[in-house]
Amino acid sequence: MAITIIGAGSWGSAVAWLLGNKGYDVRLWARDARLVEQFNSTHSNPRYLNDVVFPPNVIAYTSLEKAISHAEAVVLAMPSAAVRDMALRLAPYIGGGMPVLLLSKGVERESGMLLLDVLEQVLGGHDRLVVLSGPNHAEEVARGILSATVVASSSAATAGFFQDLLGTPVFRVYTSPDVTGVQLCGAAKNIVAIAVGASVGVGFGDNTTAMIMTRGLAEISRLVTCMGGDPLTCMGLAGMGDLIATCTSRHSRNRSFGLALAQGESLSDYEGQTHMVVEGALACIAVTDLARHHGVEMPIGSAVRRAVWDGVPLDDIVEELTGRPSKPEFY
């Protein structure tokens, strides 16, 4: 079976490694011709996961048409802001029945749409679309370290297809029908991770980290429930599982950016140094706009937005958050 992966960043590359080691014919698309040339000559990704050796059945391409030719499934792994444009580029090559798996996490800023809805709008066929989310740092998945994830779709058959495609003894894949909850958890947990990183950066401790994570999860669950998702999803792999990994791991770029933010570093400086997109910095705009539209309170999400985009000092934000009146824990 031929599988095309669009996007050769760390996560797209990790999934390419995973599928390649299962024996599939994997085509990995990247726009950078130099990266493609080095990948094919060295069987490694010189920019991401450069110490991981890829099997020879993973081949990189710069041509979308060649990468997707005769593929039986497509995996999309790009920053959330690029999903619509890439879907428009892919539309001429993707047949109506081809299953599509989305690895990107976020909410489209301009429209407030969840990314799977963006794909449906451009590509059609909601039942062939699946989103994957969970505590899955690429650096560990690409080394065969035991991990688990969840794939969500309106179609149990399509979710089952990708469950079988991706699953291994060390990469356990669960299924869910809650596409709304899984997507919102995946987008919003990155915001909470920035807040945790910033709290550590200014000198707060483990108690503070635990507080931010649990209160952040309460914010996420309010939004998920309001938008028709299942609140239990927030306790699963896409919710609490991913929140733990993203808020506590040394591999987390969102947590790492929060640490840098506490030291006065700007978003553009951080992304320029790491060559990675901080999804939580974009999500804090789109998600809090969505929450405001639905009348959902997200004080931590709003605080991150003000710190990242409005330049409000962290000391002022801490004072505002700790000065809020106490409420029932669940409301």
**pLDDT band of 46, cuts 50, 70, 90:** confident
Question: 22, 105, 189, 327: which one is catalytic?
Answer: 189
Q: Do residue 11 and residue 49 come from a single domain?
A: yes
pLDDT at 95: 82
Q: How is residue 156 written in tokens?
A: 């149990």
Assess whether 161 and 256 both reside in one domain: no
Instruction: Specify whether 186 is located in the same domain as 304.
Output: yes
> Do 147 and 185 lie in a common domain?
no
- Provide the domain limits for residue 318: 180-322
- Is residue 18 located within the same domain as residue 161? yes
Residue 331 lies in a domain: no
- Provide the pLDDT for residue 92: 94
Of 149, 177, 205, the one marking the end of a domain is: 177
Of 177, 211, 227, the last residue of a domain is: 177
- Given a cut of 80, whether residue 45 has pLDDT beyond it is yes
- Over residues 191-212, the pLDDT tens digits come to 999 999 999 999 999 999 999 9
pLDDT at 8: 96
216-269, pLDDT tens digit by residue?
A: 999 999 999 999 999 999 999 999 999 999 999 999 999 999 999 999 999 999
Q: Check which CATH number belongs to the domain holding 74 and give it.
A: 3.40.50.720
Residue 329 lies in a domain: no
Instruction: Find tokens 């309010």 and name the residue.
Output: 222
Tokens 């451009």 locate to 122
Residue 189 annotated among the catalytic residues of the structure: yes
Do 35 and 168 sit in the same domain of this protein? Answer: yes
pLDDT over 90 at 156, yes or no: yes
Nearest to 209 by CA among 172, 246, 179: 246
pLDDT, tens only, 93-113: 998 889 999 999 999 999 999
Please report the pLDDT score of residue 277 as a whole number: 87
User: Long-range contacts of range 135-138, CB-CB < 8 Å, 24 or more positions apart?
Assistant: 135/237, 135/241, 135/242, 135/244, 135/245, 135/246, 136/11, 136/14, 136/242, 136/245, 137/245, 137/249, 137/251, 137/252, 138/10, 138/11, 138/13, 138/14, 138/48, 138/49, 138/251
| Residue 328 located in a structural domain | no
Domain boundary among 147, 177, 207: 177
